[in-house]
Amino acid sequence: MVGKRRLAQRLIIHVDLDYFYAQCEENVNPSIRGKPVIVCAYSGRTSESGVVSTSNYEARKYDVKAGTAIATAKRLLASTDAIFLPMNRPLYDSVSGRIMNILRDHGDVFEQTGVDEAYLDVSESSKGEYSTAKRIGSNIKEIILRQEQITCSIGIAPNKLLAKLASDHTKPNGLTVVEPEQIPSFLNGLEIRKMPGVGKKVEEKLHTSKVKTNDDLSRLSPIALQEMFGRKLGTYLFLAARGEDNEPVQDKELPTQMSRIGTLKEDTRDYDIIRPVLSELTRSLIEKIHDERMNCKSVSIIVILNNLTIHTRSRTLESSVKDLRTIDDCAQQLLREFIASTPEAVLRRIGVKVTRLSKSSGQTDIESFFSTKVPR
């Protein structure tokens, strides 16, 4: 009987690479290992403005973590020989790409959800056995360590929600299994902000209703939750409090390019008339990039002339980005160059395209779990 039930049940592995950017940096320069390592997202305004992108566990002992202001981090670590480094996205992207290829081979279905995390559905390959899934998990850890010198934390559970909570449970270098009978005790006392889908706003609202832990949450009725958060989010929270989740692991094909194109009010080659149209198209495209949680490495403009010939001009950026300023500047520059180099050209339509897309991580990563499902 038990065997039958187990065959029908899903088995999901969540893999989360430990202090990822900082670990990549330690591998490039092993002499910094053992010291606090802080990877910084410098805003460029002053030499110290910006926030910590991530830090290794030595730095976290001093309460320096993602989101800490760089100036604050410097103060907190003043007594140490901390190493502050700028982000090196190409490095992290290439390590991530190789690790994702390893992971892809270990699941029946594979879904990458960030630069350093992925789900694997191993229901079939483990034949529904937790001991087999655990072996798959250990094997994954060993291979990633051997081939890339990167440690990771793994969660194994009957669904994505619990697998994610499990990988977060023991970090770094953990492997946590939550079998169905362990779900109530595993969720017991869980702080509400740890629940995927609970961002700052939801947390604050729950706190005002004295809901601090998962136990408090599980005492609220579905109706009460729906009244507070609307039907979808309310239902999600009601089920999540019980460890229930049916979201499938899906191998989503990433788009390879995105574009926006528009027709000018009049045929023209006047940069000042075309510029705001192109800017507006770029702004709309950036919104899409943010929604899809992507970065782009290459920007193009598409120009359709009044004789209906189509021309494109492209430029590769120094690193993958998603900020409006960089992409808009690049598109405008391409437009100015196009107009200057084609004296006869009269434009009818203008477009902007981004290519060489990659999945981005970032400040919103944790909150973006289930983002397609949970409305805010």
Residue 289 in contact with ligand TTP, rule: CB under 6 A: no
Strand order in the sheet with 109-114: 109-114, 117-121, 12-17, 152-157, 175-177
Distance CA 112, CA 256 (A): 15
Strand partners, 52: 40
In the shown chain, the binding pattern of residues 78 to 117 toward ligand TTP, with x for contact by CB under 6 A and - for none, equals -------------------------------------xx-
Site stretch for Ca ion (CB under 5 A), options 20-28, 36-44, 304-312, 351-359? 20-28
Of the candidates 171, 283, 348, 356, which one interacts with ligand TTP according to CB under 6 A?
171
CB atoms closer than 10 angstroms to residue 347: 25
Distance CA 83, CA 28 (A): 13
Contacts of 74 (CB under 8 A, 6+ apart): 48, 82, 84
User: By C-beta, is 123 or 153 nearer to Ca ion?
Assistant: 153
Concerning whether 117 is annotated as a catalytic residue, the answer is: yes
Residue 116 in contact with Ca ion, rule: CB under 5 A: yes
In the shown chain, the binding pattern of residues 294 to 333 toward Ca ion, with x for contact by CB under 5 A and - for none, equals ----------------------------------------
- Burial (Cβ within 10 Å: 0-12, 13-18, ≥19) of residue 177: buried
Please state whether the peptide bond connecting residue 343 to the residue before it is cis, i.e. omega within 30 degrees of 0.
no
CB atoms closer than 10 angstroms to residue 270: 12
Distance CA 272, CA 255 (A): 32
Of the candidates 6, 13, 15, 19, which one interacts with ligand TTP according to CB under 6 A?
19
Residue 17 in contact with ligand TTP, rule: CB under 6 A: yes
Of the candidates 172, 180, 199, 262, which one interacts with ligand TTP according to CB under 6 A?
172
Site stretch for Ca ion (CB under 5 A), options 13-21, 274-282, 339-347, 352-360? 13-21
Residue 33 in contact with ligand TTP, rule: CB under 6 A: no
Strand partners, 213: 191
Of the candidates 334, 361, 368, 369, which one interacts with ligand TTP according to CB under 6 A?
361
Identify the CA nearest to 196 among candidates 333, 15, 364, 8. 364
Among candidate residues 25, 58, 111, 117, the one labeled active-site is 117
179 binds, among ligand TTP, Ca ion, none (CB under 5 to 8 A by kind): none
Residue 16 in contact with Ca ion, rule: CB under 5 A: yes
Residue 46: CB minimum distance to ligand TTP, A: 20
- Residue 334 in contact with residue 273, Cβ under 8 Å? no
Residue 374 in contact with ligand TTP, rule: CB under 6 A: no
- Chain residues binding ligand TTP by CB under 6 A are 16-21, 53-54, 66-67, 115-116, 171-172, 361-363, 365
Q: Catalytic positions, please?
A: 117
